[in-house]
């Protein structure tokens, strides 16, 4: 009986559940601080920029149209793109600079 006890291989301890979840938690934390948080900050700045638009500001639309704000309404602006040529644009289509535009 004693001889059979010595010949049994040692059993490894099972890893704790926290140690198996640790890589996933680390990935979530990295995504939050390097991707989600900066994007939320940028969206907040862009929203403030759009709310602070006033007559005479130079702006760019998401379509790449440069112009000057002629009139500001609640949800849209009237943008002058040339002398006496005005277009109506939704405020959500105004970007701060060309880095906000979607890249191909």
Read off the pLDDT of residues 15-46 as tens digits, 9 standing for 90 and up.
788 888 999 999 999 999 999 999 999 999 99
Q: Which domains does the chain have, with CATH numbers?
A: 16-100 (2.30.30)
In the block, tokens 């379509």 appear at 63
Scanning the chain, the segments in alpha helix (DSSP H) are 2-7, 17-31, 37-51
Among 58, 96, 62, which Cα is nearest to 80's? 58
State yes or no: pLDDT of 5 exceeds 60. Answer: no
């Amino acid at each position: 009986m004693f001889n059979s006890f010595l010949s049994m291989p040692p059993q490894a301890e099972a890893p704790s559940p926290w140690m198996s979840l640790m890589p996933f938690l680390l990935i979530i934390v990295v995504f939050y601080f390097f991707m989600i948080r900066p994007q939320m900050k940028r969206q907040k700045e862009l929203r403030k920029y759009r709310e602070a638009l006033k007559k005479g500001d130079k702006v760019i639309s998401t379509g790449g149209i440069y112009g000057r704000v002629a009139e500001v309404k609640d949800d849209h602006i009237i943008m002058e793109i040339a002398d006496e040529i005005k277009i109506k644009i939704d405020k959500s289509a105004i970007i701060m600079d060309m880095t906000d535009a979607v890249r191909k």
